[in-house]
Amino acid sequence: MSRAPVLEVDGVSLSYSGRLVLDDVSFEIGEGEFTGLIGSNGVGKTTLMRVILGSQRPNSGTVRLGGSSSAPRGSLLGYVPQKVVLDPDVPMRARDLVALGLDGQRFGWGRRTRQQHAAVEQVLHDVGAEGFANSRVGTLSGGELQRVLIAHALVSRPKLLLMDEPLANLDPKSVQEIVSLLHRVSRDHEVAILLSAHEMNALLPAIDRIVYLTAGRAASGTTEEVVRSEVLSKLYGHHVDVLKLHGRVLVVAEPGHERNDIPDHPPLTIS
């Protein structure tokens, strides 16, 4: 059954100083779909995120949220940025950071309503952060901080959650836990998720769709539709083999082409 599109990216192109960063990128994400935005460092993933957020204007193309290109981004979008550095001495609890997702745009702390307190407690429960909700944010582990940042982005109940490389500095156990959490959130709360990563191995059991980005060009669809030799060869502009061995997939460039334009991942499991 098709899902109503929450995000539609239509023909987006963008150049910096004569360099084409995004080249006619088009895809859409439906309600409750978990989508991986996959590509090596420097291929335009963060720039695409900025275009969707509205902080970067493309040279051409349109981004529609909830069917509108002019709808206020704040009411529809939650965002987890690529890097968040917090001083261990900052006197802010995890619970307080999550609450800022409700009223952080307002000057001063103010008094929150009973409904707002309830919303904070519910989202802390949803992400499994109750056990460290009163800890200072600067003392949290990488996996704990990701849970709190996800809660901060979700507390206002957005329709779309954007996450820029949230798995980059996590240990394998935390990566697995965060991916499982996001899969559950997308299903239970009908939140569409677009998560960028430079490799897809950890995401494959959970994602519904993939947007594979290289040199500003994108291919989108299910994993089975996109991670194929003919699709990736066209995307990269040279021959790429997709080898499936014992339920695993390896993407290999033809001899003579550098591998640094292909996301550096180990063999990939497709479930």
At residue 198 the predicted structure's pLDDT band, cuts being 50, 70 and 90, is confident
Q: What is the pLDDT of residue 11?
A: 96
Q: Which residue has the higher pLDDT, 257 or 128?
A: 128
Residue pair 261/40 in contact (Cβ under 8 Å)? The answer is yes
- Of the candidate ranges 5-9, 176-180, 216-220, 240-244, the one whose mean pLDDT is the lowest: 240-244
Q: Over 80: is that where the pLDDT of 257 sits?
A: no
Which of 225, 169, 226, 179 lies closest to 202 in space, CA to CA? 179
Distance (Å, rounded) from C-alpha 222 to C-alpha 203? 12
- Confidence tier at 71 by pLDDT (50, 70, 90): low
Cα–Cα distance measured from residue 238 to residue 257, given in angstroms and rounded to the nearest whole number: 8
Mean pLDDT confidence for 47-75: 87
How much is the pLDDT for 68?
A: 81
Residue in the block written with tokens 């989508």: 35
pLDDT of res. 218: 94
Q: For residue 95, is pLDDT > 60? A: yes
**3-class secondary-structure state, position 108:** coil
Whether pLDDT at 99 is above 60? yes
- What is the reported pLDDT for 191? 94
Q: Which residue has the higher pLDDT, 261 or 126?
A: 126
pLDDT at 149: 95
The predicted model gives 224-239 an average pLDDT of: 89
How far apart CA 200 and CA 265 sit, in angstroms, is 7
Cα distances from 192 to residues 33, 53, 81, 186, in angstroms, run: 5, 14, 17, 6
Which pLDDT score, from 0 to 100, does residue 153 have?
Answer: 94
Q: How far is CA 19 from CA 16, 44, 173, 215, in A?
A: 5, 11, 39, 10
Q: Residue 244 — very low, low, confident or very high, per pLDDT cuts 50/70/90?
A: confident
Q: Would you kindly state where each structural domain of the chain is located, as residue ranges? A: 1-76+158-222, 83-156
The DSSP result for 129-164, as a single string, is: -GGGTTSBGGG--HHHHHHHHHHHHHTT--SEEEEE
What is the predicted pLDDT for the residue at 226?
A: 92
| Side-chain-facing half-sphere of 60: CA atoms under 13 Å | 6
**1-76+158-222 belongs to CATH 1.10.10.10:** no
Considering only 46-55, 67-76, 135-144, which range has the smallest mean pLDDT?
Answer: 67-76
Question: What is the model's pLDDT at position 266?
Answer: 40
